[in-house]
Amino acid sequence: MKELDFLLTRYLDGQYASAAPEAQAAFRELLECQDPLIHAYCMGRERPPGDVLSALIQRIIAGTGIERE
C-alpha cells in the first residue's frame, strides 16, 4: 500500500533514529505485520497489542490529518 509506505517512511526518516530502543523494536515488530493489519491499526479499526505498539502507531499518524474511526 502506497499510503503505508509514505507513513512508515516518514516515521523512519524523521523519528526512528531518535526513538527509544523499545519504540525501535516495536517499529521492527510492526514491519513484520501484513499491510492490511498495519492499515487497520493506523485507521483505528484494530487496536495494536501492547502500549508500546499503540504509542508507536500514534506517533506514526501524528500530524498526518488521518481521521481515525
Name the one residue in this structure whose C-alpha cell is 508500546: 52
CATH number at residue 6: 1.10.150.250
Answer yes or no: is 69 within a domain: no
Q: How confident is the model at residue 3 (pLDDT cuts 50, 70, 90)?
A: confident
Task: Look at residue 22 and tell me whether its pLDDT is greater than 70.
Answer: yes
The mean pLDDT of the chain is 91
pTM of the model: 0.84
Look at 14 and 69; give whichever has higher pLDDT.
14
pLDDT at 63: 66
Instruction: Tell me the one-letter amino acid at 24.
Output: Q
Distance between CA 1 and CA 57 in Å, rounded? 16
Answer yes or no: is 38 within a domain: yes
Task: For residues 24-32, give the mean pLDDT.
Answer: 96
